[in-house]
Structure 1
Amino acid sequence: MEWIVGIFCLFFLYCVFITVLLVKRSRRYARRVKQFEARHRSFNENILNSQNESESRFQAAADEALRLTRTFQKFVPKQFVEHMATANVDDLGLGYASENEVAIMFCDIRGFTGFSERITPHELMNFLNSYFTRMNDPIHQNRGFIDKFMGDAIMALFDHPGGSAQQKAIDAINAALDLRKALNIYNGHRKNSNYTAVNIGIGIHFGPVIMGTVGSEDRMDTTVIGDSVNIASRLEALTTKYEADIVVSAQVLQTIGDSCEINTRLLDWVKVKGRQAPIEIYEVLSHLPQDEQSLKLAVQAKIAAGLACRINQEWDEAIAFFNAALEINPDDSLAHHHIDVCSIYRNLELSDDWDGALVLQ
């Protein structure tokens, strides 16, 4: 009997030993599981932190790129950047050039040199910034963009995105009319502050231009060049000579066609400086008071007939038409201008191939 009890005790001790051993192993396993879970959790947290850091870096880089782009667009027009972005990146170096048809506008302050001499440099800078700020919106609201500021002058392009040539020309005309409205409001503010009023001349032409980059490898600039740019600049200069607020070429009106109702009158048949081919130039009247428009339109037929006679060197007939225009509107400076031109040219020996165009220097 005792040996049975001994065997039972030994078996009991064996079971206790096995149980203790299993408990220890279970605890070691549990610790290892916890350690593994901790390492796994730490690994996931590191990955998550790394992803968050990467996302933060990417977002910061994107924000910086957007900020730089917006800053860059203050110096280079967004439309110019978008136009160049369509080209191969490898081509966007010095000498990149692309041809396009656009409406070109030049806008200049009349008598600016004398005006600037009467104020201090600081006052001049404040005036220009105030003026340019008001001239900016009429251009951008009509889908144009300012290519550059040149002293007191503005050069703007109208390249209606996805639009036709007609739409580009209409945008330019509408912008010119809105510029005159903005100028009237601006002069109202200047009057309230006891400042003198300012006036502007606007020239518009439509035609092909080259948009590209010029300069050197370490300093480049975007620019627009071409005969069309030269013509638009010359037309703006003629606003003073013809006492017209807005002067446009025949190409602009031909491009617009009859779809845009604007009042214009023929000014002259001229050769502008730097160009051999003559162009017809017109005055836009739609922004003027109705009575002033009516007076200018009333003499239109006489002016056109007199100009046709001048082209044919029929001096007496031409002067007669211009005098008839003065009988209708004695204050019309255009009729006086044409009488003076005829009086000069009739005393010159003109070549057989003279085309009747007034040569302007």
Structure 2
Amino acid sequence: MRYQITYAGINKVVEAADDLDSLLDISIRNQLPHLHECGGHGRCTTCRVRVLDGIQNLTPKSPLEKEASFLRKWDPSIRLACQTYPKGDVVLQRLIWSMAEVTSLQKELAPEGKAEERPITILFCDLRNFTPLSSKSMNFDLAYMLNRFYTAMGEPILMNNGIIYQYVGDEIIGVFGTTGGTREKNCTDAIRAALGMQYALAHLNQVELKDLDMELQSGIGINFGKAYVGHLGHPTHRQFSVIGDPVNVASRIQGKTKETGTKILISESVLNSLPENVLDTGQSFELELTGKEGLARLTEVRGFREMDTQLELQSSLHLMLDDQDKFASLFYDKVFSISPETRSLFKRNMTDQGRLLTHMLSGIVYTLARPDHLVEGIRALGRNHQAYGVTSAHYPVVRKAMLETIDQVLGNNKTQNTMTAWTESLDFILKEMQQSQS
């Protein structure tokens, strides 16, 4: 007996012949982008779907799904696609569309109606000269500028497993480590995000805001400490909240970037969380912070002493995928030029295939910030490609075509470090994919 799986929102209907494939398997088999960061093992919730019709045609929840549903207080219509097997017609909607949405899922695990003390890293970023800029700009231009600023500056926070906590006027606040992680990792993630924000702002000024005759600048302050995290407020309207002295201190540190003429300042608690000689630091300051006794030791951060692979990948990804269809088209043209026989592997619409490629590439870069899911996700990718007919002989072709495409698309925007980072990362990814097939 055959039955239909309908994907609401994209007007896609596919068929299934039995109950041996999960909803996630069916998406993958039909080459539909469907996030599954952990590789479909029920250890994350990125493959979740909302069932709009046919919920009676699904298998009962597995123990893994029951646990996830209980912790996140899902209503019965939400199911984990990797744990759910259809037995009849189903209409569903994918709930997580991009990797940028994944880190926001951490908010679900914050306690309801109370707050728990957790060690976290807080990043405050302020847009410089916003008041004079706003007085000189039309409302439309101002709204455009702020939206572009929030997008460009928010992406590095999300790429580094941080949560965008708040937008306050011309300020953006990121939080790292609300659901765990080591002190060193959370502080490193915040610093990498801050450096990525500086790169993103430079690109924003050079390309997207050039015609508006304005240049944005920012100051970033980072602090580490124990704060209270939870969903607080009226019972009918609780909001994710982070409260405590470390948050206020991070804001004060950001304010000191104006006084010191620096772009990124970190507290002593952040500096002490990292091994020596990891950071390229500049000036150090002993300054008073409003509301705090004594002097606070603040340190300017200029970068990492050695190449940080994640930062290189993250900073180049948005440039590579600015035109996703063009990137995919170039890649497949190179694949077919190097190995014409590979054309036989692609029987579906190449535009859809290209979007699946860029979706996968973006997903891997984001998942680098969550290494506990990384290897399993890549190996699942390898098994999926084996089912498509990909063999070990195809991997050198993919490697050569991908590196040539990256080099061509980035052009003058690439550096030696950029290409080294992509080469090393691609070698790791392809090795893990091949191991899953052995």
Residues in 2 aligned to 1:117 and 1:192: alpha-carbon distance in whole angstroms: 18
What residue is the counterpart of 1:171 in the other structure?
A: 189
Tell me, what secondary structure is at the counterpart of 1:256? coil
Sort the Cα spacing of 1:193 and 1:217 in 2 relative to 1 into closer, same or farther, 3 A.
same
Counting only pairs closer than 5 Å after superposition, residues 124-135 of structure 1 correspond to structure 2 as 124-135=142-153
Are 1:62 and 2:78 matched, yes or no?
yes
What residue is the counterpart of 1:78 in the other structure?
A: 105
Which protein is richer in helix relative to its size? 1
**Deviation per residue, 1:45-80 (Å, 9 max, x gap):** xxxxxx967328x99933799767889x97x93211
Sort the Cα spacing of 1:103 and 1:52 in 2 relative to 1 into closer, same or farther, 3 A.
closer
Structure 1 segments (4+ residues) deviating >6 Å: 63-71
Residues in 2 aligned to 1:108 and 1:255: alpha-carbon distance in whole angstroms: 24
**Deviation per residue, 1:304-340 (Å, 9 max, x gap):** xxxxxxxxxxxxxxxxxxxxxxxxxxxxxxxxxxxxx
Tell me, what secondary structure is at the counterpart of 1:263? strand
Residues in 1 aligned to 2:140 and 2:184: alpha-carbon distance in whole angstroms: 42
Counterpart of 1:189 (choices 193, 199, 207) is 207
Residues in 1 aligned to 2:76 and 2:118: alpha-carbon distance in whole angstroms: 37
What residue is the counterpart of 1:273 in the other structure?
A: 290
Residues in 2 aligned to 1:66 and 1:210: alpha-carbon distance in whole angstroms: 34
Sort the Cα spacing of 1:65 and 1:239 in 2 relative to 1 into closer, same or farther, 3 A.
farther
Counterpart of 1:141 (choices 159, 163, 168) is 159
Given the two structures, how large is their TM-score scaled by the length of structure 2? 0.47
Tell me, what secondary structure is at the counterpart of 1:207? strand
Q: 1:287 offset after TM fit, Å?
A: 8.1
Tell me, what secondary structure is at the counterpart of 1:77? helix
**Deviation per residue, 1:122-145 (Å, 9 max, x gap):** 322221111111112211222212
Are 1:119 and 2:137 matched, yes or no?
yes
Tell me, what secondary structure is at the counterpart of 1:285? strand
Sort the Cα spacing of 1:284 and 1:116 in 2 relative to 1 into closer, same or farther, 3 A.
same
Q: In the alignment, is the contact (CA less than 8 A) between 2:220 and 2:257 conserved in 1?
A: yes
Q: In the alignment, is the contact (CA less than 8 A) between 1:267 and 1:281 conserved in 2?
A: yes
What residue is the counterpart of 1:284 in the other structure?
A: 301
Given the two structures, how large is their TM-score scaled by the length of structure 1? 0.56
Q: 1:158 offset after TM fit, Å?
A: 1.3
**Deviation per residue, 1:188-217 (Å, 9 max, x gap):** 114642531110000001111100233223
Counting only pairs closer than 5 Å after superposition, residues 1-361 of structure 1 correspond to structure 2 as 54-55=56-57, 61-62=77-78, 77-81=104-108, 83-84=109-110, 92=112, 94=113, 96-159=114-177, 163-190=181-208, 192-258=210-276, 261-286=278-303
* Greater Rg by CA: 1
**Deviation per residue, 1:18-60 (Å, 9 max, x gap):** xxxxxxxxxxxxxxxxxxxxxxxxxxxxxxxxx967328x999
CA-based RMSD of the aligned residues comes to: 3.4
Q: 1:111 offset after TM fit, Å?
A: 0.9
Residues in 2 aligned to 1:242 and 1:253: alpha-carbon distance in whole angstroms: 18
Q: In the alignment, is the contact (CA less than 8 A) between 1:104 and 1:232 conserved in 2?
A: yes
Q: 1:99 offset after TM fit, Å?
A: 1.0
Sort the Cα spacing of 1:277 and 1:191 in 2 relative to 1 into closer, same or farther, 3 A.
same
Gaps of 5+ in 2: 1-52, 61-74, 80-90, 306-438
Q: 1:161 offset after TM fit, Å?
A: 5.8
Sort the Cα spacing of 1:195 and 1:141 in 2 relative to 1 into closer, same or farther, 3 A.
same
Gaps of 5+ in 1: 1-50, 289-361
Aligned residues: 227
Residues in 2 aligned to 1:268 and 1:167: alpha-carbon distance in whole angstroms: 24
Matched letter for residue 114 of structure 1: P
Tell me, what secondary structure is at the counterpart of 1:124? helix
Sort the Cα spacing of 1:118 and 1:98 in 2 relative to 1 into closer, same or farther, 3 A.
same
